[in-house]
Amino acid sequence: MLAKNYMLRNYEREQATTRFIIFIGAFTLVIWLVFPDPTSRHVRPAVKYVALPVAVFGVPLTSFMSYVLRDEKPTGFSIQDLAEFLFLPFWLIVCYGTIIALNWVWI
């Protein structure tokens, strides 16, 4: 979220979009490297390669795209930033529930 605000404030729309895509790509690789072994019999590889990046970047990416599509820059701390921060726990619960519902993790 901090990277999103930094890029939107300091770069033009196209530059910010390019840099944010590179940022998400780089940190997706970090998530894949940090996450436990996908060969575990309790965790399907889809959790590592699909669910975790969606869970981590879903809310910031949606917020970023809302700023880009409206062609505006965030100024200070906005209501949208607060809503994004408050929505994040709900989003993570939904993602975890989806992972369980799809039977990607079991104990």
pLDDT, tens digit (0-9, with 9 covering 90-100), for 21-75 = 999 999 999 988 887 666 677 777 777 888 888 888 888 888 888 888 888 777 7
pLDDT, tens only, 86-105: 888 888 888 888 777 777 66
Q: What is the pLDDT of residue 22?
A: 94
Distances (CA, A) of 63 to 47, 74, 78: 23, 11, 12
pLDDT at 79 over 80: no
Q: What is the pLDDT of residue 28?
A: 92
